[in-house]
C-alpha cells in the first residue's frame, strides 16, 4: 500500500507544523484499522499502536495512543496533553506530532521510540543495561524535567505529576524522553515553592507523601518521584516490589532503610554492582536520598539533580578510564588493551614476546598480532 515511499522515524524529520489535526480515516490507515499485531503498549489511557503516517511522500513511523472508552482518563487529560505538548519542544520530551478527535474517539500521535520505556528494560525485559547508560538516561530525564519546571520557552512552569519509569521513553539512540502529560499542571515559576491545590493523582510508589497528605502539589513532588526512579535504576527493583521485605514493599523506604543499615552495596543491581565506582555509588545514592526528603523544601531542584548527575558521570568516566584504559604504552608504543587481558602463562608469554619485539624494534603491529595468534 505504501510502495515507493521512504520510511523514516518521525524524529528524524521536521514535521511541517508543530501539531497537526489528523482525520480518523488517516489514523485507520496508519494502524491498518487498529490491527492488534501493531499494539506496542497498554496504559491507563488505552492501547498504543505502532503506525505510519504519510508526509511529503515519506512514511513517518509513529506511536498512536487511542483513548479506551472504559479508561479513567478522559477529555480533560486528553486536551491537557495536546495543549502542553503543542507548546513544549525539547530533545528530552517526547514530541506530539498530531491528534485526532472524531465523535468519541480521542487519539494522540507521537514520535515513535523504538527502545520502548525504561520500565520495559529494568523489569519486563530485564535488559542488563550498563551503568554508564543508566546514568545517561537519568541525566536526559532530569534535563527534560528541568525544562518543564523552569518554564523555558513558555510563560509558566509545568509540574508533570506522574514521573515514573514507564513514562521515560527511549529513543533509538537511547536518549531519554519524558512522556505522558495527561496529569500535568501549569504553575507560576517566579516563586520557588508555589503550590497548586489539586485532587491527588499519580502512581502509587512514586507519589510524594507530602502531596498525598496535604493536596499541595509543587515541583518538588516531581523531584520525589524522580528520586524513586533513581533508586529503581540503581537497584533494578520496581517502585512497589513484593520481593522486598514484607514491611517495605515500597522501594523508596526500603532503599533508605538499607542505606541507614550500611547495606548500600548489597542493594545495587547485580548486573552493574562491579562497574560502579565506590565514590560514584555514594554520590548517586545520596542524591537520590535527598530527592526523597520528607520535607519538600529540603529536596534539591531538578537543576541541582541534573548538575549532580552530570558530575557523577564525569567521576565514573575517570574511574572507568583508570581501571579499564583503552590502550597500554610499552616502550613508547600504544597497544590495545585486549592484547593484555588473557590470564596465566599465555599472558606472560605474550607480554614477554611483545617486550622483546619492542626492544629489538623489529616487529610491526601486524607481526605482533601474528605472534599473539600463534600463542593462542
CATH superfamily of 118-323: Transferase(Phosphotransferase) domain 1 (1.10.510.10)
279: annotated binding-site residue? Answer: no
What backbone phi and psi angles, to 5 degrees, belong to 39?
-70, 125
pLDDT at position 181: 81
Domain positions in the chain are: 6-111, 118-323, 327-375
Cβ atoms within 10 Å of 47's Cβ, excluding its own: 18
Predicted TM-score (pTM) of this structure: 0.78
Distance CA 151, CA 290 (A): 23
Neighbour-count burial for 204-225, b at 16+ CB within 10 Å, e otherwise: ebbbbebbeeeebbbbbbbbbb
pLDDT in tens, 334-369: 555 444 444 444 444 444 444 444 444 445 555 555
Transcribe 89-130 into DSSP letters: --TTBPPEEEEEEETTEEEEEEE--TT-BHHIIIIIS-----
Listed as ranges, residues in the chain with pLDDT below 70 are: 1-18, 44, 55-57, 70-73, 152-155, 187-200, 245-248, 323-376
CB burial of residue 192 (10 Å; 0-12, 13-18, 19+): exposed
Q: Which residues are catalytic?
A: 162
Neighbour-count burial for 282-292, b at 16+ CB within 10 Å, e otherwise: ebbbebbbbbb
pLDDT at position 45: 77
- In words, the CATH class of domain 6-111 is alpha beta
CB burial of residue 32 (10 Å; 0-12, 13-18, 19+): middle
pLDDT in tens, 144-167: 999 999 876 566 788 999 999 999
Amino acid at each position: 500500500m505504501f510502495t515507493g515511499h521512504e520510511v523514516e522515524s518521525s524524529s528524524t524529520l521536521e514535521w511541517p507544523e508543530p501539531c497537526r489535526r489528523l482525520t480518523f480515516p488517516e489514523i485507520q490507515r496508519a494502524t491498518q484499522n487498529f490491527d492488534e499485531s501493531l499494539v506496542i503498549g497498554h496504559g491507563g489511557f488505552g492501547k498504543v499502536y505502532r503506525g505510519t503516517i504519510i508526509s511529503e511522500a515519506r512514511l513517518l513511523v509513529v506511536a498512536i495512543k487511542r483513548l479506551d472508552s472504559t479508561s479513567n482518563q478522559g477529555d480533560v487529560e486528553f486536551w491537557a496533553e495536546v495543549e502542553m505538548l503543542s507548546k513544549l519542544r525539547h530533545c528530552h520530551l517526547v514530541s506530539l506530532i498530531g491528534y485526532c478527535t472524531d465523535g468519541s474517539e480521542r487519539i494522540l500521535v507521537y514520535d515513535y521510540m523504538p527502545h520502548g520505556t525504561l520500565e520495559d528494560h529494568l523489569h519486563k525485559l530485564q535488559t542488563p543495561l550498563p551503568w554508564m547508560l543508566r546514568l545517561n538516561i537519568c541525566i536526559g530525564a532530569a534535563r527534560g524535567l528541568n525544562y518543564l519546571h523552569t518554564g523555558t520557552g513558555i510563560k509558566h512552569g509545568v509540574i508533570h505529576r506522574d514521573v515514573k519509569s514507564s513514562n521515560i521513553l527511549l529513543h533509538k539512540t537511547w536518549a531519554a524522553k519524558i512522556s505522558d502529560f495527561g496529569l500535568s499542571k501549569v504553575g507560576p515559576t517566579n516563586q520557588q515553592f508555589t503550590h497548586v491545590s489539586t485532587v491527588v493523582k499519580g502512581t502509587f510508589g512514586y507519589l510524594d507523601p507530602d502531596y498525598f497528605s496535604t493536596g499541595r502539589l509543587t515541583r518538588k513532588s516531581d523531584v520525589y518521584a524522580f528520586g524513586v526512579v533513581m533508586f529503581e535504576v540503581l537497584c533494578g527493583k520496581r517502585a512497589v516490589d513484593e520481593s522486598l521485605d514484607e514491611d517495605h514493599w515500597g522501594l523508596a523506604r526500603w532503599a533508605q532503610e538499607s542505606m541507614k543499615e550500611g547495606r548500600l552495596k548489597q542493594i545495587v543491581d547485580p548486573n552493574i554492582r562491579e562497574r560502579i565506582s565506590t565514590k560514584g555509588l555514594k554520590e548517586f545514592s545520596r542524591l537520590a536520598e535527598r530527592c526523597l526528603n520528607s520535607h519538600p523544601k529540603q529536596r534539591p531542584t531538578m537543576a541541582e539533580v541534573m548538575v549532580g548527575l552530570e558530575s557523577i558521570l564525569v567521576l565514573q568516566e575517570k574511574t572507568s578510564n583508570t581501571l579499564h584504559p583503552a590502550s597500554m604504552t610499552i616502550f613508547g608504543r600504544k597497544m590495545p588493551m585486549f592484547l593484555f587481558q588473557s590470564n596465566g602463562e599465555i599472558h606472560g608469554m605474550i607480554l614477554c614476546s611483545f617486550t622483546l619485539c619492542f626492544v629489538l624494534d623489529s616487529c610491526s603491529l601486524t607481526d605482533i598480532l601474528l605472534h599473539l595468534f600463534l600463542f593462542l
